[in-house]
Amino acid sequence: MAPMTRNFSPGGVPNEYAPTYYSKRASGGVGLIMTEGVEVSHPAASGYPDCPNLESDAAKKMWEKVVSEVHANGSSIFCQLWHVGGIRKLGMPPLPEVPGFTPSGCVKPGKKVAYEMTLDDIQELVQTYARDAKICEELGFDGVEIHGAHGYLIDQFFWDAINTRSDEYGGSLENRARFATEILQASQQSTSSGFQVGIRVSQWKQQDYEAKITEDKKELDVFFNLLKNAGADFLHCSNRRFWEGEFTEDGLNLAGIAKKATGLPSISVGSVGVDKDFIKLYAGDHQTQTTDLGKLHDKLGQNEFDLIAVGRALLADPEWANKVQNGKEREIIPFDKSFVENYL
């Protein structure tokens, strides 16, 4: 199950229905669940209303219930640790006076509109991620996924168009990846050897769908190996459409490139089982049809990647995985926006 923001956690505390919501997908055949984005314990982490965190006893107790219910239904669960970076604007709760944190003050190229992080800020956040990873282990999670994709804080460091720092966290690809690699290293050091620590990455950004970390194949291999060498146990690679090759239409997708370059377990994601992009949900074109999964079976059969993450299709039908496994794809409930608006 792909991480999907639900906005059902007032005060950072998951709704009482959260254990049922997650366990339904576990009993429905999902082998590994990635939680919705969970804000790291930092004043500037939040950028959207009613997202969960790990800060209060109430939140921790609810996450313990979620983990227990998922495990009781035979699945594993990883907590996705998330910081929105410059997506946050002044005036946003819970601390309206706190600005968005960024590597260079930019959210999009060319205009400084947010706070530029100091070296002390960077080190504070590295340790924050590590502490939260340890909390996740103590709550019973099987691992964490560091959210380094989609134009949020860590991805803002990756993106050379807005990371214009001249110190060891800017410039070369190795320097731009340093924040992420230090987070991975610190999170591994704070947790036990059996606890999994991985990272989610994407080339595209929500600020610019055409943006890339790099357009060079060899440099992309270097990037993935920087993450591997820092201790990543897996790489979750987000495409907008999983079936599209990264450099050629019929070539390997981003997860395929990551697996080939590093040998690490890779997860692919992107519009699985639905016939429209997620962005059309907000343009009034939200009614989808269940799509043929032939391309997915082919890519998994060819070992292009190891796991596929399913998002919207699992919001609509918690039994999606069981139906696919049992040859009942025609019985899958199609997705529409009502499944975003309701907690099912």
Question: What DSSP element (H or E) covers 98?
Answer: none
Q: Residue by residue, what is the 3-state secondary structure of 11-68?
A: HHCCCCCHHHHHHHHHHCCCCEEEEEEEECCCCCCCCCCCCCECCCHHHHHHHHHHHH
- Residues annotated as part of the active site: 152
Q: What values do phi and psi take at 12, rounded to 5?
A: 80, 5
The contacts of residue 75 (CB under 8 Å, 6+ apart) are: 25, 26, 30, 31, 32, 33
Angstrom distance (rounded) from CA 171 to CA 166? 6
Provide the b/e sequence for 283-307 (b: ≥16 CB within 10 Å): eeebebebbebeebeebeeeebbeb
